[in-house]
Each structure stands twice: as structure tokens, then as C-alpha cells.
Amino acid sequence: MSKQGRVWIVAGAVLDLAGAVLIARSVPEVGAALAAGIGLLLVGSVIVFRGVLRISREQAGQQAPSRTVSREWSPEPELSAAPPRPVRLTRAGKLSAGLWGAMVLIVVGYVFLAPPRPARPPPLLEAEGAAATATVHAKNERDMASGEKAYYVSYHFETGQGEQVRETRQVPRAVYDEAAVGDSFEVIYFPENPQQNFVPRLELQGIPAALRWTAVGLLAALFFVFEQQRRFHKRLVSHGKPAAGVVEGVRRRGANRVFTVRYKLHGQEGRLRGSERNPERADGDAVTVLYLPERPERTLLYCTSLYHAGER
């Protein structure tokens, strides 16, 4: 596996992780941090995908350098089989599918299974409030008119001026079950009006449903792009017809060679761009271009595809 491809994948994964952290820290507020997190996720996913494609192209050049630098074109032997041909993922193709699968599991698992965390106080209370220690002195359940139960926790605390404050708050079932009489935790209050107070432990917040589905939607859109690319490669390798292409404009980019492939189908000339880790690549080399007979505008450079023909 190439060093440059690994760097791209690691960089993309770091950006994805940073984006997920920003999103998690920003909820439930919708602001710059949330937008930055979504942006980092998008950019990171694109970089990971490009890294995987780069590895695929470089490996293709390493696997068959003597064949890909030929000046006389003939289709690869495995392409002589009549369509549909059996196909197999290249090593890079398997890596790509594995990375996407892991990303889907991590993101979906996080947004739906991440436990709620203590909420932050309102900005004004956080800026001007004072802190004290509250103690739970009672818990009770009440039957609602709807037939459901409501859960309440009662607590008390002493302000810095010695005033005793007693409060009862409705809380989620999870908070009610966790709290016990005698528990102590931090309370933030306005010194001039301690009845206005906030207990982070009693105000757990999870990822809002809208944000959950937004994250899943973005991930699904990115996965759809990758899946379309994978299906395109698979169909061309399985059903495509080989044609001759000529390499031109080879130039070095790091350890890779980037180039253009010129080909002609039914009297119409076309071009494809390629990149591979093949130091022998040079102008004038003959390479295989795959195309669909029913849609000749759909073309693929075989040496850089995610699939190769042949049994698994």
C-alpha cells in the first residue's frame, strides 16, 4: 500500500473524527460549530475516498508493470471471456468497501446509541450565575391524564447568602431512575433570584432527532456516490468491451505518474485521466479502455479500476 494513499486515508479519517466531535459538542445548539462539523465530515469522507482510489491505481501499476507499459496493445487475457465475466475486488476495492462499512456502523451507532450527557446552562446563567451544591431529598411519580407517568425529583440547596432554596423538577425516566435521595450535584443559580436555577445532571440532552437524521442523510448521500462508483467499475469490468488506448502527457506527481489516455470508439475520440505508481509509465504506452457497447460514452481505464476480471 502506498505511503501517499495511506496519508490521504489517515487525514480523511482524522477530519471525520474531528467533525463528529464538533457535532457532538455543538448539540443542541445550531451554529458555527455544527456547520463546521458537518463540513469536516464531508471533506474527510471525500479525502478518504480519494485515498482509496489512489491506492487502487498505484496497486494496479505494481501488479502488472510489464503488461501496462507495452507499446503494442492486446487485451488482458482475463478479458477474453464473454460477458458477463466473473469479477473480483482488488485489494484497494476491499479496503474501500471495508472503510465505508466501518464508517456507516460508527456514525449510525453513535448518533442513535450515544448516551445523553448533562446539558449546559443557558448562556446568560452560565455567564452570570453562581454555583452551589444541591441535594436530592425526594422523588415521586405522578399519573398524567394521558395515562402516562411523569417523574419528579425534589432538591434543595443553600445560596452564598445563606438562603435555603427548595425545588421540584420534572425529569426524564432515565434521570429519575439514576437519581437517589441523598445524591449531591452542582446547581447554577442567579444570585439575585435563586429560584431561577439549573441543574445539569437533571437536564440530560441527547442528539436531537433532526440532527440524527441529517447526519444519516449526509452519510447516505456520500455512500450513494461511492456505491455508484463501485457499481460502475463492476459493470464495466464484467460487461465492458476492451479497446485500445494510448497514454500521453505523463508527468510525475510524487511517487505516482499521472497521465491522459486517448482512445477512439466508432470514429469518436475520447480521453480518460489516470494515475498509478508505475515508474515505467511513458507516453505512447498501450493500455486497455473498457466501454459498454450499448453506451459507448461509459468508459473505464482497466488498470486503475476497483475490480479485475477473474474468479475470486
**What is the total residue count of the chain?**
312
Report all structural domains of the chain as residue ranges with CATH numbers, in order of start: 3-114+209-309 (no CATH), 117-205 (2.40.50)
Specify the range with the lowest mean pLDDT, choosing from 51-60, 137-146, 193-202: 51-60
What pTM does this model have?
Answer: 0.55
Residues 142 and 151: their CA atoms lie apart, in Å, by: 7
CA 55 – CA 44 distance, rounded (Å): 17
64-110 pLDDT, tens digit each: 443 344 567 888 899 988 889 999 988 877 877 787 777 777 777 77
Predicted local distance difference test score (pLDDT) of residue 69? 46
Give the pLDDT confidence of 169-209 residue by residue, as tens digits: 998 888 898 889 999 999 999 999 999 999 988 887 666 66
SS (H, E, C) 170-230: EECHHHHHHCCCCCEEEEEEECCEEEEEECHHHCEECCCHHHHHHHHHHHHHHHHHHHHHH
Residue 112 has pLDDT above 60, yes or no: yes
- The pLDDT mean for the chain works out to 82
* Structure confidence at residue 247 as a pLDDT band (50, 70, 90): very high
Peptide bond into 84 cis (omega under 30): yes
DSSP conformation class of 116: P
Which tens digits make up the pLDDT trace of 217-240? 877 887 888 888 889 999 999 999
> Which has more confidence, 304 or 61?
304
Residue 46: pLDDT over 80:
no
Instruction: Please state, for a pLDDT cut of 90, what percent of the chain lies above it.
Output: 35
Residue 164 phi/psi, 5-degree rounding, is -90, 130
> Is pLDDT of 53 > 70?
no
Give the pLDDT confidence score for residue 138 in this predicted structure. Answer: 95
